[in-house]
Amino acid sequence: MTDTTYGFDTLQIHAGARPDPATGARQTPIYQTTAYVFRDADHAAALFNLQEVGFIYSRLTNPTVAVLQERIATLEGGVGAVCCSSGHAAQIMALFPLMGPGKNIVASTRLYGGTVTQFSHTIKRFGWECKFVDFDDLDAVKAAIDDNTRAVFGEAIANPGGYIMDVRAIADIADAAEIPLIIDNTTATPFLCRPIELGATLVVHSTTKYLTGNGTVTGGCVVDSGKFDWSANDKFPSLSQPEPAYHGLKFHETFGNLAFTFHGIAIGLRDLGMTMNPQAAHYTLMGTETLSLRMERHVENAVKIAKWLEQDDRIEKVTYAGLESSPYFERAAKVCPKGAGALFTISVKGGYEACVKLVNALEIFSHVANLGDTRSLVIHSASTTHRQLSPEQQEAAGAGQNVVRISIGTEDADDLIADLDQALTKASS
């Protein structure tokens, strides 16, 4: 089913899926196979030439993974998607066709800790560079873009700080510079935020989080809006010029608005090998079926709990864009009208020590390096996820010493409040 006129609740269950042609199985089977038998030698040649679309080898394509790709692409309003082994793999997959030695990206300072590390250090080994800029300073974003910039990168709802990016304003800047805007939509999900409608070219996900929703598998996805003209200038030769890694195929000319998706599969997955396995795709497909239901409850609980925390004397500050006190409250209504997510931070009176006591004393909340689970989760970012960052980078990312990140689950809000209450009492004693 691919009719995009259906509503979100229908599409999250049906998009990409059809009864199994061999057995009629209603649920998408887990195609646990490495390879696929060619009809004959001509069929095999056509597949390898990309003249016919089909299945060759599961590093490239797999029918279970293909359903998930179509489902996420549909939910995001994109033309195609490529799933991969993790959210971090998705980021490399998104950048790979655009970049080359000496090229750079301009990224927000407010990003997931692991992304800051990936962009500050690891991508340098490829000869890529990242310039971090405060995305609220639009002039600084414009000034950071130079002739070698190949993408702008930000998170719609930033992890961890309760920050909302003005996606439309940044998209306009990227458009003027004729480069794509990549949005990490992990913490918002397509239910809360639709970056492509706001002007994004590509959307990346860690499907590990809300899309799967139950903390079972890691995965990632790159969604293409299909709207970018890769041939408008000579900045993207892998897409517009003969690609030497695929016997001189011109991806944009051959595949039109699906160029990026085909490149992601035919070159990205083929050569980088960051493949999602069909078991992981199965768990994530199960998760997507209830995405909107979960996100509504996540948001409802987050608002209730953030309000309770905000009035508590043991708390210095709550950074949640769903609170009227947040400087991003009005922007949130435009960028993510169905809610500002369920991820926020609290600054606890008593600093580092109190934070450590708090995470130790919580009973329902689990102290883990994850978010976007049905379970409520908590982490002291400064001693864990943001540990590799300098104190300045920690502050900029909203992960200072006295800051605890909370990912609100779908349990009873009153139980979560009672748990926070008892743990805060222990933390302040």
Ligand X SMILES: *Cc1c(COP(=O)(O)O)cnc(C)c1O
Strand blocks (E) in 295-365:
315-319, 343-348
Q: Say if residues 99 and 110 touch (Cβ distance below 8 Å).
A: no
The CA distance from 111 to 376, in Å, is 21
- Cβ atoms < 10 Å from Cβ of 58: 21
Q: Residue type for 23, please?
A: T
Comparing CB distances to ligand X, the nearer of 63 and 113 is 113
Per rule CB under 6 A, is residue 117 in the interface with ligand X? Answer: no
- Residues within window 356-395 making contact with ligand X, judged by CB under 6 A: 371
Candidates 127-135, 182-190, 299-307, 314-322 — which segment interacts with ligand X by CB under 6 A? 182-190
Per rule CB under 6 A, is residue 114 in the interface with ligand X? Answer: yes
State in angstroms the smallest separation of the CB of 155 from ligand X: 5
- Residues within window 183-222 making contact with ligand X, judged by CB under 6 A: 184, 186-187, 206, 208-209, 218, 220
Q: Residue type for 324, please?
A: E
Per rule CB under 6 A, is residue 159 in the interface with ligand X? Answer: yes
The CA distance from 73 to 71, in Å, is 5
Taking CB positions, which residue lies at the least distance from ligand X?
Answer: 87
Per rule CB under 6 A, is residue 238 in the interface with ligand X? Answer: no
Among 28, 69, 86, 201, binds ligand X (CB under 6 A): 86
Site string for ligand X, 88-107 (x = CB under 6 A): x-------------------
- Distance from the Cα of residue 163 to its chain's centroid: 15
Angle at 242 between CA 226 and CA 57, to 5 degrees: 70
Per rule CB under 6 A, is residue 284 in the interface with ligand X? Answer: no
State in angstroms the smallest separation of the CB of 102 from ligand X: 25
- Residues within window 29-68 making contact with ligand X, judged by CB under 6 A: none
Candidates 179-187, 226-234, 345-353, 411-419 — which segment interacts with ligand X by CB under 6 A? 179-187
Q: Say if residues 344 and 186 touch (Cβ distance below 8 Å).
A: no
State in angstroms the smallest separation of the CB of 143 from ligand X: 26
Bridge-partner residues for 345, per DSSP? 319, 405
- Max intra-chain CA distance, the chain: 75
Site size with ligand X, rule: CB under 6 A: 17
Bridge-partner residues for 118, per DSSP? none
| Gap between the terminal Cα atoms of the chain | 57
Q: Say if residues 280 and 58 touch (Cβ distance below 8 Å).
A: no
Candidates 82-90, 296-304, 394-402, 405-413 — which segment interacts with ligand X by CB under 6 A? 82-90
- DSSP characters for 139-170? HHHHHH--TTEEEEEEESB-TTT--B--HHHH
Q: Say if residues 305 and 407 touch (Cβ distance below 8 Å).
A: no
Candidates 80-88, 101-109, 262-270, 374-382 — which segment interacts with ligand X by CB under 6 A? 80-88
State in angstroms the smallest separation of the CB of 132 from ligand X: 15
Candidates 83-91, 144-152, 233-241, 258-266 — which segment interacts with ligand X by CB under 6 A? 83-91
The CA distance from 354 to 425, in Å, is 10
Could you tell me which residues come within 8 angstroms of residue 123 by beta carbon, excluding any fewer than 6 positions away?
92, 95, 129, 130
Comparing CB distances to ligand X, the nearer of 97 and 372 is 372
Could you tell me which residues come within 8 angstroms of residue 108 by beta carbon, excluding any fewer than 6 positions away?
132, 133, 134, 135, 153, 154, 155, 158, 165
State in angstroms the smallest separation of the CB of 205 from ligand X: 8
State in angstroms the smallest separation of the CB of 185 from ligand X: 8
Residue tagged 């979960």 (tokens): 294
Per rule CB under 6 A, is residue 115 in the interface with ligand X? Answer: yes
Comparing CB distances to ligand X, the nearer of 149 and 186 is 186
State in angstroms the smallest separation of the CB of 344 from ligand X: 14
Among 31, 112, 119, 255, binds ligand X (CB under 6 A): 112
Residues at the contact surface with ligand X, assessed by CB under 6 A:
86-88, 112, 114-115, 155, 159, 184, 186-187, 206, 208-209, 218, 220, 371
